[in-house]
Amino acid sequence: MGGERYTREEQIAKFEKVKDIRFFYKKKFLNNSGKTKDTNEFYSEIAAEWIIEHIDGFKQITPIHRNASYYTEGHDGKYRPESTSEKNIAKRIFQQGKQEGIPGIGIILDYETPLNDELENSAGKIDLLAFDQKNNVLRILELKRPDNDESMLRCVLEAYSYSKLVDREKLILDFNRDGNFNIPEGIPIVACPLVFRNSVQHKELQEMQEGLRQNLKKLIEQLEVRPMIIEKKRNHIQCI
């Protein structure tokens, strides 16, 4: 997002005003693109630095209580071929990977898994949930459509926050009981932003590897988030 430019201190002042760190990932300032007008730093790098300095608070986020089952009976994955919405893409990925799985990602268990019971002021929904039997992990996949312009930082923090807000034990119990899966009880959950090749997020990851976004790299390592890059080939999604 372009528009007005801010100083480093003006950007930090926005972070300090956030009262509920559980929903820090929802804040629009995480998508501010460009650089500060005084120090010439990426806005997202300043945000990543601040999060690292307050990382204990993010690691102490506790699950949201959910009464209903995490498993949504009746999710059939029917989608509209002409639609490019994230929800529609998630359904297509679900259809592709619900039986045999997708190499590198795992079996897709479900899509749009709600984190709480509330219809309003919701914490959000897990775009895709995958069981990677090969690596023995449960993946929370935060999907972004190819033309999504959100920052990689926001994708990382959203996926991580979901992994903390979900009740892991109840999630596994619900899917095993109501969905007839066989997920190991002690399996770890991994937060995985799922972004398309050549997207804004992919380009920022490339910049990170080139040394331009060191705070983003450090944050990803400390939160143990695992970004995944996908592309569409022959009408199928594959992990690269």
pLDDT at 1: 45
Q: How would you classify the pairing of strands 137-143 and 125-132? A: antiparallel
Strand partners, 191: 140
* pTM for the structure as a whole: 0.94
pLDDT at 84: 84
If we measure between CA atoms, which residue out of 223, 234, 235, 230 comes closest to residue 196?
A: 230
Q: Take residue 230 and report the two structure tokens written for it.
A: 């996908």
pLDDT at 123: 85
Mean pLDDT by runs of 10 across the 240 residues of the chain is: 81 96 95 94 97 98 95 86 88 94 97 84 89 97 97 98 97 97 96 98 98 97 98 91
Q: Take residue 32 and report the two structure tokens written for it.
A: 């501010």
Structural domains for the chain? 68-239 (3.40.1350)
In whole angstroms, give the CA distance from residue 75 to residue 94.
10
Contact by Cβ (8 Å): 129, 189: no
Contact by Cβ (8 Å): 69, 178: yes
